[in-house]
Amino acid sequence: MAVKVSPQQRSALWIYQVDPHEIHYLKFILEAYEGLTTLTTLDPQKGLVQMAVPPGRHGSLEVLLEALGQELELKRISLVGKP
């Protein structure tokens, strides 16, 4: 039986570009914040990563990414599902 998920329960998908050499560091930092996001590498050569952001965690992730932007070059490519 398939489980139905309402739009409010779906994770938003955010795509960013980061220096390919910094992907592991970014993933390490994000994983330290339990339940904040799940990072998937889309293209390791181009540094494209996707973050699955659970409902209610958008603001916290934005604050963290803004702080990380002081030491990493993070370029927002797209935000899908941001409230």
Number of residues written out for the chain: 83
For residues 65-69, give the mean pLDDT: 96
* CA of residue 57 relative to chain centroid, distance: 11
- For 25, which DSSP code? H
Q: State the DSSP H helix or E strand holding residue 30, giving kind and residue range, or none if neither.
A: helix 23-32
pLDDT digits (tens, 9 = 90+) for 28-42: 999 999 999 999 999
Query: What is the reported pTM?
Result: 0.84
Q: So where are the chain's domains? A: 10-80
Domain range 10-80, CATH class: alpha beta
Instruction: Check pLDDT > 50 for residue 3.
Output: no
pLDDT digits (tens, 9 = 90+) for 15-27: 999 999 999 999 9
For residues 52-76, give the mean pLDDT: 95
- For 11, which DSSP code? P
Q: What beta strand segments (E) does 1-83 contain?
A: 12-17, 38-43, 48-53, 75-80
